[in-house]
């Protein structure tokens, strides 16, 4: 399926925001519904509910698939950064035993 950017209206603040084609594809792959709140209102809601991280998040581009993602560390030029899906595919299997 080919996704195209959509403009949605936030149910919280009434502002419009773009639901990008990449984000739509990600949501579809996880079985998520379209977001009802803009990124700012989603973040504020997470904070108010005690969830979410207080760590700063940094924008990055996945070295494997090229998707935009966010990571909880400052990316370095000499190390690849992966989105969640690609990281799960490339990370080494956990060691078993001693």
19 vs 93: which has the higher pLDDT: 19
Residues 39-97: pLDDT tens digits? 999 988 888 877 655 678 899 999 999 999 998 889 988 999 998 889 888 877 676 66
Q: Looking at residue 77, what is its pLDDT?
A: 87
Is residue 7 predicted with pLDDT exceeding 90? yes
Is residue 98 predicted with pLDDT exceeding 60? no
Q: How far apart are the first and last CA of the chain?
A: 46
Is residue 10 predicted with pLDDT exceeding 60? yes
Q: Looking at residue 97, what is its pLDDT?
A: 62
Q: pTM here?
A: 0.49
């Amino acid at each position: 399926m080919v996704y195209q950017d959509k403009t949605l209206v936030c149910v919280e603040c009434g502002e419009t925001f773009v639901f990008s084609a990449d984000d739509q594809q990600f949501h579809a792959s996880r079985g998520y519904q379209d977001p009802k709140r803009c990124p700012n209102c989603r973040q504020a809601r997470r904070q108010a509910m005690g969830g979410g991280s207080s760590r700063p998040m940094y924008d990055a581009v996945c070295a494997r698939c090229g998707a935009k993602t966010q990571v909880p560390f400052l990316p370095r030029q000499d190390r690849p950064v992966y989105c969640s899906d690609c990281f799960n595919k490339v990370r080494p299997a956990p060691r078993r035993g001693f």
